[in-house]
Structure 1
């Protein structure tokens, strides 16, 4: 009994230190991506990024679907650059949306802007890879614009499909929009048909969205990662990205 008590009392502080360290690394990753995005001037660059080794970027007539990257709130297009480069190296044409700026608009406004840009580019049946709020924008593209066939399926990373419990206390209006009672989130939640074409990946400990990444009817995966941002560089997440792009089957439920 004494040994069990000692193990319990030492395990809790150790876990707390691990979580604290993970959150520091998470913040460092977010800061790195923000600084790198500004330094590379992504707002001034083209929206379409050709597959590596194929100049031009026109995929008309190609059987390989385009990949559309949608970052989260306060994340510029360049925030997801590591994923963009990885996908280009695998022969994919990647579309980013610098027009979204820091993605502070409402979800419907962001979706309309994205839809307009995809129409201009002649994109159809695209594959979306999104982070955080980007997954909500992506699902609206799949549902409200379904007749246009702009997006076929989506991999959503750390997306608060169930809302973020403490968002109503956030310091800015765009962040407060993620409260669970938001009508937009409620409307998206009622549309279950699209969920079967969505893979939702969450972190084991995400201080911003918690376990709200679970989506009924979707393929849900939880990775043993601490943080909201660092999951983007986790090797297990990158393997999921590769499988998703290659249309490999996923387990229905996986816990980390």
Structure 2
């Protein structure tokens, strides 16, 4: 794993990556549409996701803003194929609620059942990574010195997460997007919560059109994969490998 950023790509290459990124996102959003989703019934996770090795960490998928959990289907399939049980958080819709409110919902869900022997890991995209970090620091209960991870959580593997916000959020009127402004109170508070950064693996590509500030997080394990984009990076086999390696690293750290 490496935290060394690559050289900045050319304007033309960044433009091509930007276009490919939105084509991918549009395809994934269209894939969400189905009869059960269209009439408002919860869409069940694939049955194969329910089974796996109980000694491996259980993975909870946390999508980004305006993303249904099915947006992370390729990543969930890769986790299940590797033997992890994969869970989703129903009732979030397209994840427009505030980071704090959604983190509370996720924490309540995790608290409803005992943690499995292998523990739990949050696997998140974009805003989901901010939600995941918020869960790791409920009321300051979780610090790097905590003897027992809260809710059985070993940590967070976050893909393309704006840990320091995004200056582009200022260009939007939608409160769900403006919440990512670097000066937003929640972003500022989470940035100050450095004690849990050692429990976070941050994964990103060489170029993310949504996050000019990048996803490098001090104190975390930062991994750059060769696939650029904010959305398309989710489908890359290199990202899937990095996520699996990140989960393994978090589990080993907990065992030590």
TM-score, with normalisation over the residues of structure 1? 0.81
Give 2:96's aligned residue.
Answer: 104
Contact 2:155 2:199 (C-alpha < 8 Å) held by counterparts: yes
Q: Does 1:212 align with 2:214?
A: yes
Moved more, 201-210 or 73-82: 201-210
Distance in 1 separating the partners of 2:151 and 2:98: 22
- Greater relative contact order structure (CA < 8 Å, 6+ sep): 2
Give 2:80's aligned residue.
Answer: 88
Which of 134, 144, 152 is the aligned partner of 1:140?
Answer: 134
Q: Does 1:126 align with 2:120?
A: yes
Distance in 2 separating the partners of 1:158 and 1:126: 20
Contact 1:49 1:95 (C-alpha < 8 Å) held by counterparts: no
Distance in 1 separating the partners of 2:45 and 2:108: 13
Which segments of 5 or more consecutive residues in structure 2 lack a partner in the other structure? 1-7, 143-148, 252-256
Distance in 2 separating the partners of 1:166 and 1:188: 19
Which of 32, 55, 58 is the aligned partner of 1:63?
Answer: 55
Task: Specify whether residues 88 and 189 from structure 1 end up closer, same or farther in structure 2 by C-alpha distance, changes over 3 A only.
Answer: same
Distance in 2 separating the partners of 1:151 and 1:41: 31
Which of 177, 184, 187 is the aligned partner of 2:186?
Answer: 184
The CA deviation at 1:225 is 3.2
Instruction: Name the SS of the counterpart of 1:227 in structure 2.
Output: coil
Instruction: Name the SS of the counterpart of 1:141 in structure 2.
Output: helix
The CA deviation at 1:158 is 0.7
Contact 1:49 1:88 (C-alpha < 8 Å) held by counterparts: no
Moved more, 172-181 or 121-130: 121-130
TM-score, with normalisation over the residues of structure 2? 0.81
Task: Specify whether residues 108 and 154 from structure 1 end up closer, same or farther in structure 2 by C-alpha distance, changes over 3 A only.
Answer: same
Instruction: Name the SS of the counterpart of 2:30 in structure 1.
Output: helix
Distance in 2 separating the partners of 1:26 and 1:130: 18
Paired residues, number: 232
The CA deviation at 1:139 is 0.5
Cα RMSD, aligned residues only: 2.7
Contact 1:47 1:98 (C-alpha < 8 Å) held by counterparts: no
The CA deviation at 1:193 is 1.6
Which of 2, 12, 16 is the aligned partner of 1:17?
Answer: 12
User: 1:163-186 deviations in whole A, cap 9, x for unaligned?
Assistant: 101212213111001111111111
Give 2:230's aligned residue.
Answer: 228
User: 1:134-174 deviations in whole A, cap 9, x for unaligned?
Assistant: 00000011111647434221111110001101212213111
Give 1:238's aligned residue.
Answer: 240
Contact 2:63 2:95 (C-alpha < 8 Å) held by counterparts: yes
Distance in 1 separating the partners of 2:101 and 2:91: 12
The CA deviation at 1:188 is 1.2
**Greater Cα radius of gyration, structure 1 or 2:** 1
Give 1:30's aligned residue.
Answer: 25
